[in-house]
Amino acid sequence: MKFATVKVQGLEMFYREAGSPDKPVFLLLHGFPTASHLFRNLMPMLAKDFHVIAPDFIGFGQSAAPAHDTFDYTFENLTNYVEVFLTVMNIDKFYMYVFDYGAPIGFGIAVKYPERILGIVSQNGNIYQEGLGAKWADREAYWQHPTPALRKSYQAAFKPATIIGQYKGGEQPNSVSPDGYSLDIFYTSLPDYAERQSDLIFDYQNNVKNYPVFQKYVRTYQPEIIAAWGKNDLSFVYQGAQAFAKDDPNVDVHLLNGGHFVLETHWQEIGQLILDKWGQKD
C-alpha cells in the first residue's frame, strides 16, 4: 500500500494506492462522513488483480480543506477535482466503486466520459428516487425553504453519536470495528468542518435533480454494474439497488445483511463479488 498526495488545481489531494500499475485501474470513491480509509480492508483484496486508487475528496480526510467561504463546496466542483485528479494520475479507463456521496461524483464523470468506464460497483450509492429513505423528505423541505436555523439543525449529522449510529445501524451487535467511525469523528473537529459539510448537504438537491441524467447514462450504455447494498440502510434504502435493474440488464443486485456502511462488515463478500466478475482468470 502506498500513501501519497498530488497537486490538483493548486490543492493537495491525498490518495491510497495498491497493486501494479500494469493492472486495470479500480477507482474507489468514498462518501460522507468518511474518506479513503473506508477501503482499508478492501484494497489489499483487490490489489492482486487491479491497480487500486482511492482519493480523499477536497474537504475530506487528508486532502486539502480550504475554508467554505473561499472554496465552492458543491458536488459539481468536487467532481471536477476528481476528474482533474484522474488526468494528473494518467488514469484513462477504469472500474469504479461508488458509495454514498461517491455516487453522484462517479456517475457525473461517467456521464461525461462513458467510454472510460469499465464497470461499476454501487454500494449504497444511490441515483434513484426509489432509493431515498424517509429522512430525505425533511431535507427536500429544507432545500425549498432554507433558513439559518435549519442549516444549523443539520449539523447534528456531524455529531459523534450520529456517525456511530450510521456505522452500527442495521448491523449485527459487536460486528463493526471502531476504527472507521473514530477517525471520521476526529475529522469533524477540524476547522470549518461543519460549514463545508453543511454546504454539501444543501447542494445535494442538485444530485437529486441529476438522477435522471445518471439514469439515462445507465440506460444508454448499460455498463456492467454490481449493486451491493446494505439492505438495512435507512438513508439510501435497498430499493435504490433494485432500481438499477430496470434500466440495465447487466446489473447484479446483491442485498447484504448490513446497513449504510456494509463494507465495514461485508468487505470480503463484496470483494469476492468484484473478483468473480472482473478479476483475472488463471
Show which residues are catalytic.
260
For 167-196, how does the pLDDT look when each residue is reduced to its tens digit (9 = 90+)? 999 999 999 999 999 999 999 999 999 999
Residue 251 and residue 150: Cα distance in Å, rounded? 38
Domain ranges of the chain: 2-278
Alpha-carbon torsion 195, 196, 197, 199, what sign?
A: positive
pLDDT at 282: 60
Question: What is the CA angle 259-240-264, rounded to 5?
Answer: 25
Q: What CATH code would you report for 2-278?
A: 3.40.50.1820
Which residues are paired to 225 by β-bridges? 120, 251
Structure-block grid coordinates of residue 54: 482511492
Q: How far is CA 34 from CA 46, 81, 124, 134, 241, in A?
A: 20, 18, 14, 22, 21
pTM value is: 0.97
* pLDDT tens track, the chain, 282 positions: 999 999 999 999 999 999 999 999 999 999 999 999 999 999 999 999 999 999 999 999 999 999 999 999 999 999 999 999 999 999 999 999 999 999 999 999 999 999 999 999 999 999 999 999 998 999 999 999 999 999 999 999 999 999 999 999 999 999 999 999 999 999 999 999 999 999 999 999 999 999 999 999 999 999 999 999 999 999 999 999 999 999 999 999 999 999 999 999 999 999 999 999 999 876
Task: Give the number of other CB atoms < 10 A from CB of residue 66.
Answer: 15
Q: Which residues of 254-270 are buried (b: 16+ CB within 10 A; e: fewer)?
A: bebebbbbbbbbbbeeb
Task: Give the number of other CB atoms < 10 A from CB of residue 216.
Answer: 12
One-letter-per-residue 3-state SS of the chain: CEEEEEEECCEEEEEEEECCCCCCEEEEECCCCCCHHHHCCHHHHHCCCCEEEEECCCCCCCCCCCCCCCCCCCHHHHHHHHHHHHHHCCCCCEEEEECCCHHHHHHHHHHHCHHHEEEEEECCCCCCHHHECCHHHHHHHHHHCCCHHHHHHHHHHHCHHHHHHHHHCCCCCCCCCHHHHHHHHHHHCCCCHHHHHHHHHHHHHHHHHHHHHHHHHHHHHCCCEEEEEECCCCCECCHHHHHHHHHCCCEEEEEECCCCCCHHHHHHHHHHHHHHHHCCCC
